[in-house]
């Protein structure tokens, strides 16, 4: 085991020693996720309002009114509210201070600071916030009018509640019958793009990293390893572990980086990590196959890029498979990307358990096992082939 781990560590170092790999493994994926999230990232489909300030009667009244209208209201600090707005976790921020609370309690007009996120959908949420503010102001004005007419303060609120129960207020209920819209409801701006790019780049980097396996054979690295008391089986296992390490390092970096920088919610981290491990195993096995069959590292890199992009496109890493026609959706099930995408989608959107994603995990494990056996056999054969 120690020998195989040493071989894997060498392969990982050789891969990371290439400066171009540093950019495409660590920098470019995060840049692309930021771009896609900023331009095309969809909100959760629900108005999200962050309220900052003391827990006053004004804050409570606004929260109750907004929640009654269907908005998701978060009480937080000023800095946290600005962070949520910048990362797409909130559409509108309401910043209250002590002066606003005192003015509201005294029945005087209060000037509220409102910050709107740059997305176009936030303008609709702003109108919802304005309606809530007007409703709270109207209720405060009604209480003041009743108090001015001689109604005791303690009875004025009760009288308004009784009047509201007796008057039938017309309402409009919007029913969203779009299954696709329902499927993406609850996602943050960067959540969908992060899961797609995770699968795309892990598989793509693994395939292009097959060039290091060809170079190891060409430059005699494998030959020198086998001149030591190391069996061919240990070499094959070490190379497989090296391919897996390359995939897992990038996948783990993308998951941690997007969570910290963009606030991506990966759901249950243990389940998401398990999906990543199995997908990395599939990627590593595919890289072993390319590195064993081909003898030219430049050609192998080209084949890896082409195959990686085609499989990623078919598997839903460029366009979500929810938009696929039936025929293409059925074809996409032949790719490991689609099964990993479905598993991550369930974890992120539906808070599933391990039992719920066992079919996806089983298919990924089966693909990984089959490809690893084939890749190991091809690599063992290639060790005896001159380059």
* Residue whose C-alpha is closest to residue 211's, from 294, 281, 307: 294
Token pair of 321 as six digits: 């498979």
Residue 135 in any domain: the answer is yes
| Same domain flag for 139 and 221 | no
Give the integer Cα–Cα distance in Å for 3 and 237: 10
Does residue 182 belong to any structural domain of this protein?
A: no
Whole-prediction pTM: 0.70
CA–CA gap between residue 248 and residue 202 (Å, rounded)? 8
pLDDT exceeds cutoff 70 at 131: yes
- Both tokens of residue 242? 């090296």
Looking at the fold, whether 324 and 247 belong to one and the same domain comes out as yes
Interatomic CA distance for residues 91 and 125, integer angstroms: 7
Q: Is the pLDDT of residue 153 over 90?
A: no
Give a yes or no: residue 181 inside a domain.
no
pLDDT in tens, 30-50: 998 888 876 655 554 567 899
9 and 151 part of one domain: no
pLDDT at residue 181, rounded to an integer: 61
pLDDT at 277: 96
Query: How many domains does one find in the chain?
Result: 2
List pLDDT tens digits, range 319-350.
899 889 999 999 999 999 999 999 999 999 88
Together in a domain, 57 and 105:
yes
The domain boundary residue, chosen from 106, 135, 169: 169
- Under the banding of pLDDT at 50, 70 and 90, the label for residue 273 is very high
Instruction: For residue 180, tell me if it sits in a domain.
Output: no
For residues 35 and 54, membership in a common domain is answered with no
Range of the domain at 243: 2-41+187-382
Residue 214: both structure tokens together = 């060809």
Q: Does residue 387 register a pLDDT over 60?
A: no
361 in the same domain as 324: yes
Same domain, 84 and 218: no
Exposure string for 128-152, b = 16+ CB within 10 A, e = fewer: bbeebbebbeeebeebeebeeeebe
pLDDT for residue 367: 95
Strand partners, 10: none
Same domain assignment for residues 230 and 162: no
Average pLDDT, the chain: 82
User: 158-211 pLDDT, tens per residue?
Assistant: 665 665 566 655 665 555 545 666 677 667 778 888 999 999 999 998 888 788
Cβ-Cβ contacts under 8 Å for 381 (sequence gap 6 or more): 292
- Which residues are bridge partners to 48 per DSSP? 72
Are 34 and 84 part of one and the same domain?
Answer: no
Instruction: Tell me the H-state helices in the chain.
Output: 2-17, 19-22, 28-40, 57-68, 78-86, 98-105, 121-148, 153-166, 179-184, 191-208, 210-218, 221-227, 232-262, 269-293, 297-314, 326-332, 336-350, 358-382
Residues 311 and 205 in one domain: yes
**Measured CA angle at 363 (ends 360, 367), to 5 deg:** 140
387 located within any domain: no
Q: Are residues 133 and 192 in the same domain?
A: no
The per-residue pLDDT for 145 is 63
| Nearest-angstrom CA–CA distance, 202 and 99 | 52
Is residue 65 located within the same domain as residue 126?
A: yes
User: Residue 22: its pLDDT value, please?
Assistant: 81
């Amino acid at each position: 085991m120690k020998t195989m781990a040493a071989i894997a560590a060498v392969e990982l170092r050789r891969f990371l020693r290439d400066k171009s790999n540093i950019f495409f493994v660590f920098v470019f994926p995060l840049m692309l996720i930021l771009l896609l999230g900023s331009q095309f990232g969809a909100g959760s489909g629900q108005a999200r309002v962050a309220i900052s300030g003391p827990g006053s009667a004004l804050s409570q009244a606004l929260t109750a009114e907004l929640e009654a209208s269907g908005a998701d209201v978060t009480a937080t600090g000023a800095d946290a509210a600005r962070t949520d707005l910048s990362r797409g976790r909130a559409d509108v921020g309401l910043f209250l201070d002590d002066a606003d609370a005192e003015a509201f309690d005294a029945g005087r007009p209060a000037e509220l600071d409102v910050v709107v996120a740059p997305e176009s959908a936030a303008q609709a949420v702003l109108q919802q916030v304005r309606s809530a503010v007007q409703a709270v102001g109207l209720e405060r004005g009604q209480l003041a009018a009743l108090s001015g007419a001689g109604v005791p303060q303690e009875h004025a609120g009760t009288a308004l509640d009784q009047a509201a129960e007796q008057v039938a207020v017309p309402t409009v209920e919007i029913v969203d019958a779009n299954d696709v819209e329902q499927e993406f409801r609850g996602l943050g701006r960067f959540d969908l793009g992060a899961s797609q790019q995770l699968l795309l780049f892990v598989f793509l980097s693994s395939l292009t990293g097959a060039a290091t396996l060809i170079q190891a054979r060409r430059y005699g690295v494998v030959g020198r390893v086998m001149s030591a008391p190391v069996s061919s089986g240990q070499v094959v296992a070490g190379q497989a572990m090296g391919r897996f390490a390359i995939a897992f390092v990038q996948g783990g970096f993308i998951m941690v980086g997007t969570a910290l920088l963009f606030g991506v919610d990966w759901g249950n981290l243990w389940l998401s990590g398990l999906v990543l491990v199995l997908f990395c195993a599939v990627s590593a096995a595919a890289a072993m196959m390319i590195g064993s069959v081909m003898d030219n590292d430049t050609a192998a890199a080209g084949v890896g890029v082409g195959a990686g992009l085609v499989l990623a496109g078919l598997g839903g890493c460029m366009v979500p498979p929810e938009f696929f026609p039936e025929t293409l959706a059925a074809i996409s099930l032949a790719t490991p990307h689609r099964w990993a995408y479905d598993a991550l989608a369930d974890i992120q959107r539906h808070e599933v358990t391990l039992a719920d994603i066992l079919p996806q995990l089983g298919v990924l494990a089966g693909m990984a096992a089959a490809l690893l056996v084939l890749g190991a056999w091809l690599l063992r054969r290639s060790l005896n082939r001159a380059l």
